[in-house]
Amino acid sequence: NAGVTQTPKFQVLKTGQSMTLQCAQDMNHEYMSWYRQDPGMGLRLIHYSVGAGITDQGEVPNGYNVSRSTTEDFPLRLLSAAPSQTSVYFCASRPGTGGHEQYFGPGTRLTVT
């Protein structure tokens, strides 16, 4: 199993550009989530999904969109990038609704100039 994969690993955008961060998992996990990690602030939840077609907002959803058309994929879209979105983005997944830990992808480092 590849686990949780993310692409790209690095990305530089100009202000106002849009892009999609890709996330996929091959563990048949129902729950998937997106976080951003900024220095001194830990990880903050952006959006999450509990299954195909079901998404909800986390702590910092503004400026980001998500969709979940399959169990495996959970892309994160930046509609109009802003410098404040410069961060490291992590995707994670976990099985079902139990107390399981999350499994994290390798991360995408995004810089918006």
Nearer residue to other proteins within complex by CB, 45 or 52: 45
- Please provide the distance, in angstroms rounded to a whole number, between the alpha carbons at the two ends of the chain: 36
Rounded Cα distance between 28 and 40, Å, is: 33
- Binding of other proteins by 104 (CB under 8 A): yes
| Tokens 């959970």 belong to residue | 74
Nearer residue to other proteins within complex by CB, 41 or 82: 41
- Binding of other proteins by 25 (CB under 8 A): no
Show contacts with other proteins in window 51-80 (CB under 8 A).
56, 58-59
CB atoms within 10 A of CB 109: 14
Q: If DSSP codes are grouped into helix, strand and coil, which group holds residue 34?
A: strand
The site for other proteins (CB under 8 A) is made up of 31, 33, 35, 40-45, 48, 50, 56, 58-59, 90, 92, 97, 99-107
